[in-house]
Amino acid sequence: MTAMDIKKETPVRTVLITGIEPFDGETINPSWEAARRLDGQDVAGARVIARQLPCVIGKVVGVLRQAIEEVQPDLVICLGQAGGRSDVSVERVAINVVDARIPDNEGKQPIDVPVVEGGPAAYFSTLPIKAIVRDLRTGGVPASVSLTAGTYNCNTIFYGLAHFIATERPTLRGGFVHVPYLPEMAARHPGAPSLSLDLLVQGVKIMVATSLAVTRDIKEGGGALH
């Protein structure tokens, strides 16, 4: 067998990147704009496939699971909009509660209900979150570790993914990352910070490369006092 034959037989890794449809009166969602920009691209030697998730709390986990079954990825990075945040927020923990501040895109507003009935109180991300933050900052992308993914659709996605990994797909790695408004969105929200789409896309590429390369996260300060 030649070296070329071995190279041909080496399976190409696949990364599923998800973004969310616009919600709360917005016409675009930065998470989806970034994800779809990378659809079909080769990043760090892996093929990226993008899928859009709905802002519908009762359906979003099912749509995500279906995407995972179709794509069969080695890695899943779910992105979501966090208007008002000033940097890329790599989420550390998902909690088993939905407490919707606003209705979702089907007009539903569940309050104080579990994401998964009988599931654990919380799950940690299986992404190398601190290494991702380090590499994003090195690459010129503002970033931090976040200790709350909220209690809306984004946390539902994160918890649903983590529960699926823990109970059905233990070899899969995945997590959730919140991103700020795009500049054109921030223009409609005076005082709100933003990141350009080009910088956000570059940040997602860094997330993918780091997540594929780092299997054991670094030990580096990233906590919060309050």
Is 1's pLDDT higher than 80?
no
| Residue ranges per structural domain of the chain | 13-213
Catalytic residue of the set 55, 78, 154, 163:
154
Q: List the 143-146 sheet strands across, edge first.
A: 42-43, 46-53, 14-20, 75-81, 173-179, 88-91, 143-146
Distance CA 214, CA 127 (A): 9
Judge whether 81 and 197 are in contact, CB under 8 Å. Answer: no
- For the chain, the average pLDDT equals 95
In this structure, whether the domain defined by 13-213 belongs to CATH 3.10.129.10 is answered with: no
* pTM exceeds cut of 0.85: yes
Is residue 84's pLDDT more than 60?
yes
Catalytic residue (one of 178, 184, 220, 226): 178
Q: Could you tell me which of 161, 151, 155, 177 has the C-alpha nearest to residue 64?
A: 161
For residue 225, what pLDDT is reported? 79
Give catalytic status of residue 178 as yes or no.
yes
Question: Does the pLDDT value for residue 103 go beyond 90?
Answer: yes
154 labelled catalytic: yes
Asked if residue 161 has pLDDT above 60, the reply is yes
Nearest of 15, 72, 80 to residue 43 by alpha carbon:
15
Are the beta carbons of 195 and 81 closer than 8 angstroms? no
Q: Which two tokens stand for residue 91?
A: 């989420």
pLDDT higher than 70, residue 2: no
Q: Where are the alpha helices (DSSP H) in the chain?
A: 3-9, 30-38, 60-71, 129-138, 153-167, 183-186, 197-213
Asked if the model's pLDDT at residue 133 lies above 70, the reply is: yes
Answer yes or no: 91 catalytic. Answer: yes
**16 contacts 73 by C-beta, under 8 angstroms:** yes
Q: Name the amino acid, one letter, at 95.
A: I
The catalytically annotated residue of 26, 91, 106, 226 is 91
Q: Tens of pLDDT along 186-212? A: 999 999 999 999 999 999 999 999 999
